[in-house]
Structure formats: C-alpha cells, structure tokens
Amino acid sequence: MATYKSSAGAVLQPGNQINRLSGYNDEGVFGWPGIEAFELIGFAKVSNLSADKASYKSFDLTVPSPDRRPDDRVRDDRTSLVVQASSDRPAYIYGASIGIAQDLPAGGLATFPASPVTADLGGTTGELLLLGPNNGGSPFGVPSTQLNGLAAATSTITAGSSLFAQGAGDTTVADIPFWTSVTSTIARADAANSMMYKVTADTTFKVFNVDAVTDTSVNGDGVFISQDDSDAGRAAYILGRVNYLRPAKGVSWNDIQGFVDFPSQVGGGDA
C-alpha cells in the first residue's frame, strides 16, 4: 500500500468539493464564511450467523477509501469514523443518519443486480440500532430531557418482525436542531431538540444495539444474517453519516500575503 498524505486540513470552495474524497480527507467546505462544514459517511459489514449474535452488538464504522483502483489504492480505508475537534476549534454536530444498505435500484428489474450483495439484518423485534458518539465502548443514550444537544448527534432504527430490513433508515433524533418555540420563559425543555452537540476533542462515532434510545449500555441481543444469505455470499451493511461544523482556522499571513504590495503592472505599483 502506497503512503499518502491524509488529513491535510484543506478547506474547499463549494464548487471544488468532491464529497467522498473531501470527507475521507477531513476537508471542510467553506460555504459560510468563518465556518467549515463536514460530512463523514461510513459502514459496518455484518456477516455472522445467529449463533454468534451475542458477540455482535457494537460496531466501528469504516470510512471507505475514495480510490476505486484495486491495484493502486493510495489511500487505505479508515477503520473508524472520527469527528475532529479541539478546545480551540470545537465541533458542533448537527446531523446523524443510520440505515441498512440495499442493492440498487430498489424495486428495479428482477435481474438487477445480477449478484445481490446486501442482506437483511436479523435482530430482536423492538430493539434499536443507535448511531452516536462512543463513551468508552457504550452509547451516551439520549435522555428524555436534553442537557447538551445529544439528540442532534444520534440516529436510530428499530427492528420489526425480527429484522432491520434492507433500505430501512432514519435521520437525526432531533432532526435539524433549530429553535422553533419557547414558553413564557426560556426553559431547559424548550431546547430539548434544538441544540447542536458540541465536542472539544476528537470523537469516535459507533453503532450500538440497544433496547431503547435512553440506554447507556450495549444491552441488545445482537445482530446477524440468515444462513441462506451467508451461503449465497451476501452480507448486511450498516450505514452511518455524521454532519458537523467547526470554526475556521484563525486568520493568517497565508490568507493575504499574495495581495500585499503586489505590482499591478511591470515597473508599476499599486498607486
């Protein structure tokens, strides 16, 4: 595998953004002056059977390499989905989404794709798959009364009829965390789903199998695929997306040096 410089920290103008490459390289988009916007998308492949489900309750998300060349892939897959942040430049997470992959086009010709690769994900009816920040191997859970905007960084889907079916998915628990109403006085309950989730250090996002969105332990029964899908070489793919904002880096000489005392014509000046 070739060595490649990653996480260079570039900030792209909107017209220059290539979504998969930009997200992989941790490159923000300069769409709002002074703010960098980020999107990270990852997956977890599940291929174990029901007998082993108890060992498959939490999952790291792989951020895939944007390179499609199997013989010259200069960027390795990232083995975890990490929101980058620091005390000087915190991250404000405003969106999360979780889903189960489905071969495309869904509902299309019966012969497409010729070799299906995705499978339903077996689970326990009523249990959840929760995408959210990792708390030492466990989810934080989303309390009924929000204190810090955690709902904006969390997304869930629920198993029905013992399945997390292909194509199932949902967006953030809090939707887009914008204020929509207040009572006669601004109270904590008014902000329940109206805050972004702020982190001041690099934060890993994982998927957890839990009984309820409020749970703070990985207490689900585990997930699996069917024997038929396994025999056919198929797998289930859990998908996750996280969106966040960061303050732009402070102004520097590089932002302006090319425009200072630059002659407007040969032998001339700016006057």
pLDDT value for 106: 53
pLDDT tens readout for residues 109-145:
555 566 789 999 999 999 999 999 999 999 999 987 7
pLDDT value for 266: 59
Average pLDDT value for residue range 260-265: 66
Give domain status of residue 171, yes or no: yes
Give domain status of residue 228, yes or no: yes
Give domain status of residue 6, yes or no: no
**Does 271 score more than 60 pLDDT?**
no
**Does 18 score more than 80 pLDDT?**
no
**Does 190 score more than 70 pLDDT?**
yes
Give domain status of residue 227, yes or no: yes
Judged by DSSP in three states, 189 sits in helix
pLDDT value for 75: 83
Average pLDDT value for residue range 229-239: 96
Average pLDDT value for residue range 239-261: 90
pLDDT value for 14: 65
Of the candidates 133, 142, 152, which has an alpha carbon nearest to the alpha carbon of residue 205? 133
Question: What is the residue range of 127's domain?
Answer: 40-69+77-103+114-251
How many C-alpha atoms does 12 have within 13 Å on its Cβ side?
18
Sort 105 into a burial class: Cβ within 10 Å, 0-12 / 13-18 / 19+: exposed
Average pLDDT value for residue range 177-202: 85
**Does 5 score more than 90 pLDDT?**
no
pLDDT value for 46: 98
Give domain status of residue 257, yes or no: no
Give domain status of residue 208, yes or no: yes
pTM for the whole structure: 0.86
**Dihedrals φ, ψ of 15, to 5°?**
-70, -15
pLDDT tens readout for residues 33-76:
899 999 999 999 999 999 999 999 999 999 998 887 777 778 88
Give domain status of residue 261, yes or no: no
Give domain status of residue 220, yes or no: yes
Across the chain, mean pLDDT equals 87
When divided into structural domains, the chain yields a total of: 1
Scored b (16 or more CB within 10 A) or e, 203-219 reads bebbbbbbeebebeebe
Scan for tokens 């969105």, then name that residue: 213
Average pLDDT value for residue range 241-257: 92
